[in-house]
Structure 1
């Protein structure tokens, strides 16, 4: 179930595609069917009262209920969605009711950070685009869902400490202080994979110039502030402490509220389905010209629509299109692919010209355009 019919390189009984509103409604319909015979879930049943249960939803609910090894996997595109929490809540409830397991595929070292309790606090009470100060830890504008809004927030902030391996015009435009740190390739560290295996590594080369591994910079700052618990000599001590804590407290859990509110969908509008291209995921690969020149990366920078969507918007015979949201617009080359779900447009997020565009998963309008010189 998703936005694009992928070649999953394994036997697949069926694939179901739609825009995010339809995917959410489909999941809600499956959950409603699973709840049909329950007498102890009145709150959930009330929330899902207006959801229409389709034959496809009935069939999928039956598969989950009869399975003894059910596994629900949530991918990157849903994790980046503004309603990711709602998706997670529905999927978590489905898993609980059908004795299945579920997992949200991790980004970078998110599982390791969760196990080490490096988590945002009071998440729902903070507007991260309206703070007086920021500390950016190896984060560039391309790493945010809405780079244009984040640039404005950083430039308006009273203080911005940028811990980075790269000094760019963007960094100079908003940073109050720049602390040089080594990229992850030049420092030791540990990552935790989806299988919960801890994998430690050494830096391949010493840090360049005056840069230092990030953990050492944080240690010095903490020591200057006279904070306790930062007397580390080697990064392995940090790893050992995190592992000991994990052994005491067990595996991390994802907090999921028990009830949700499903807003009325807007199925008639064209939705931007956003993703991060393979070779744009971090500061190192983004700067690799050979990777940028690969066919995979070039194709990822295109806008992709279903042929029915192209016909509806009169763009079937053009190579370039203009995409607009409010006062913001961007031009991309067009690729028509019937593996794409109708009534949505697949475009990269936070890279190239998309840095100046709107937040992902917004509704857009499109029209044909002559090729940009």
Structure 2
């Protein structure tokens, strides 16, 4: 759109708007609301509802405001008698077949059709009492979206345009013609998009509603409270709808810098996990008879003081380990870090899935996205390494999809040909260990294009056709982005891979960034919640079998790389404490469980993947005897007589960390490791242990509706035909996997989208906790 301003007249008022503006957007600038159904600011223009008709001077017919571009001197009348008559006619046709069920409709009170009917609807109908209305049978679209009352549909086509243009997949369409037209999914399949819940928000009537929320409350009964999503690194802005200290639903809070007006289904429906029956109501401790016993907070802290005092007296602070998840708040991470440092323990880490002991030495500063989120859609060449975008970063995938729709070319290096619903220009699919060499091939091709001598460490590498093609297209780009997934940061030997990728960005003068996991990875680094002075990782902290561990917000069965070994090491410690909202998983290993408030019941701060600091408050009161994490950790420090913990609010903690820190100076993706290649043995079989989107954290894992989706189905033993043949396994039946911790039986599934020498067994399930991430020390047996 040009920056040239033109003058138009709206209802007698002269205004200036940019050239190329539509009438509906121009009138919004002067506060003139034009009623509409099919128009949505984020979707293409359909102009099929005809509700937005306006009168324009010198035109002999009314024009749709959503599709008509203004011209200089245009005289627009938005509410003339002619316009009113037309709108009343359109509305009468819509109501002709619309059921009169507003009293029981979940959309009641926030329904666009209802609102417009008050202004343009007639007080009585011209239809006789015997006139029949069109009726459609209900449709099953899956566990998240209810399409029970499709007779309410007015065929605005917003849901169809959303699925194609935003979600990237056409899961809905229109069947039949004329009065018999109806919205339906292909062959009555479930909707499986990770963004599907946004169709509920954009539906202007009650045709598509939330199945978990169905008939739970009326919209006017609910208070809307702002919060931040803890489920990924984007920092999605949320509105949580509350009644009687209970969260009933979640919708997006518009923020154009971050999530625009969309949220993922994980953010929308995970509130069920906040209301589940597994919530812990008060502190519990395992007594001398190995039975769980309810205790008060005073009793809990007395026991902790006694146990920790003995450990500190007879051993050292280094015999206490502190492990936290990367979706803990900034305040919780700072306090747990300060406690660890105050008692002399360097056994602290929030990077609980990190296998790399040299992680501190490979990157100069705190890793981040490398650019503002909104700039992604302006890139013209994109290389993404190691990411399952839709699964791990659903709303960032939307940004990359936008970039490709704008003309960008997307290239991927991965271990599985995941379907991203984005047009991919080219990709290289190899095992994780071979990824470093594939990146080296692209690097060599770029060196040749730049007429730069090939380093000796790359001399023996043969460059594939795919690598040459990717390098050539990247070389032709003007605005290039190279992105490394967080799973690469977690690999045991990622130094060369990071260095090769960074070298590519330098050769192209490209932006270089990381697709981080968790809501507060940057916050964890900023709070120094990791072993700064020693190169160690979480596995090494656990292998020490310390006297005590404090685990914050994490569940060892699902959030650690080697669940079975982690559970065993924790259970063998003298006194381990779980700080968690939930009881069931912690009872497997802890000696004491303290009920900590989830994000919805505490105040705190998250720092998203581009360094944007966002604070939030509790939207409801803590559940029964649950307490905010920062308060529990502050009291823990006080009973241990540690100095510097005189906080009265979470704001005091935040200010202590951020008041004298320029975060922008700490964010740096400069890679300090050296380029090189990997000597991979051909007989090594690697496991791709991806975690499905609805198994990522304790809250989501307890959201009943999300667990009923296809993405949460039981994991299988998946490999391509060559790998199955190599392992002498048939591509049907079941396989028994014997490990030193136990036996796992999985269905076998052939999928040639998996890289050679790889087996995809998803993590995050109870069924597979006996299999470690390295996929070593196992025996396979067909059954």
Would you say how many aligned residue pairs link Structure 1 and Structure 2?
363
Which of 525, 530, 547 lines up with 1:114 in the alignment? 525
Q: Distance in 1 between matches of 2:664 and 2:439?
A: 32
Q: Is 1:130 equivalent to 2:543 in the alignment?
A: yes
Q: Deviation of residue 218 (structure 1)?
A: 1.4
- Report which structure shows greater RCO (CA 8 Å, sep ≥6): 1
Which of 183, 205, 222 lines up with 2:637 in the alignment? 222
Q: Which runs of 5+ in 2 are unaligned?
A: 1-412
- 1:8-19 correspondence to structure 2 within 5 Å: 8-19=420-431
Which of 186, 203, 212 lines up with 2:601 in the alignment? 186
Corresponding residue number in structure 2 for 1:354: 768
What secondary structure, in the 3-state scheme, does the structure 1 residue paired with 2:611 have? coil
Q: Distance in 1 between matches of 2:526 and 2:634?
A: 20
8 Å contact kept, 1:328–1:358: no
Q: Is 1:303 equivalent to 2:713 in the alignment?
A: no
Q: Deviation of residue 74 (structure 1)?
A: 1.8
Q: Deviation of residue 193 (structure 1)?
A: 2.4
Q: Distance in 2 between matches of 1:261 and 1:122?
A: 26
What secondary structure, in the 3-state scheme, does the structure 2 residue paired with 1:358 have? coil
Corresponding residue number in structure 2 for 1:147: 563
Corresponding residue number in structure 2 for 1:4: 416
Q: Deviation of residue 350 (structure 1)?
A: 4.5
Change in Cα spacing, 1:117 to 1:34, as seen in structure 2 (3 Å) is farther
Q: Distance in 1 between matches of 2:488 and 2:624?
A: 40
Q: Distance in 2 between matches of 1:163 and 1:31?
A: 45
Q: Distance in 2 between matches of 1:350 and 1:6?
A: 18
Q: Deviation of residue 243 (structure 1)?
A: 4.0
What secondary structure, in the 3-state scheme, does the structure 2 residue paired with 1:16 have? strand
Q: Is 1:280 equivalent to 2:699 in the alignment?
A: no
What secondary structure, in the 3-state scheme, does the structure 1 residue paired with 2:706 have? helix
Change in Cα spacing, 1:171 to 1:106, as seen in structure 2 (3 Å) is same
Q: Distance in 2 between matches of 1:83 and 1:251?
A: 24
Corresponding residue number in structure 2 for 1:320: 734
Deviations 1:226-265 (A, max 9, x none): 4444333222333344443443662422563332664420
8 Å contact kept, 1:274–1:361: no
Deviations 1:283-305 (A, max 9, x none): 12222333222222016x22322
Change in Cα spacing, 1:74 to 1:125, as seen in structure 2 (3 Å) is closer
Q: Distance in 2 between matches of 1:328 and 1:87?
A: 34
8 Å contact kept, 1:314–1:367: no
Corresponding residue number in structure 2 for 1:20: 432
- 1:154-173 correspondence to structure 2 within 5 Å: 154-168=570-584, 171-172=586-587
- When the two chains are superposed, the root-mean-square deviation of aligned CA atoms in Å is 3.0
Q: Distance in 1 between matches of 2:742 and 2:456?
A: 39
Q: Deviation of residue 139 (structure 1)?
A: 1.7
- 1:237-256 correspondence to structure 2 within 5 Å: 237-247=652-662, 250-254=665-669, 256=671
Q: Is 1:83 equivalent to 2:493 in the alignment?
A: yes
8 Å contact kept, 1:2–1:18: yes
8 Å contact kept, 2:732–2:749: no
Q: Which runs of 5+ in 1 are unaligned?
A: none
Q: Deviation of residue 272 (structure 1)?
A: 1.0
8 Å contact kept, 2:638–2:645: yes
What secondary structure, in the 3-state scheme, does the structure 2 residue paired with 1:179 have? strand
Which of 464, 468, 476 lines up with 1:54 in the alignment? 464
Q: Distance in 1 between matches of 2:739 and 2:500?
A: 29
Deviations 1:29-74 (A, max 9, x none): 22344456546x9xxx344343333333333334444433221222
Change in Cα spacing, 1:128 to 1:255, as seen in structure 2 (3 Å) is farther
8 Å contact kept, 1:115–1:252: no
Question: What is the TM-score with the length of structure 1 in the denominator?
Answer: 0.84
8 Å contact kept, 2:721–2:731: no
Q: Which has the larger radius of gyration?
A: 2
Corresponding residue number in structure 2 for 1:101: 511
Q: Distance in 2 between matches of 1:100 and 1:326?
A: 46
Q: Distance in 2 between matches of 1:275 and 1:80?
A: 12
Question: What is the TM-score with the length of structure 2 in the denominator?
Answer: 0.43
Q: Deviation of residue 13 (structure 1)?
A: 0.7
Corresponding residue number in structure 2 for 1:209: 624
Corresponding residue number in structure 2 for 1:67: 477
Q: Is 1:31 equivalent to 2:31 in the alignment?
A: no
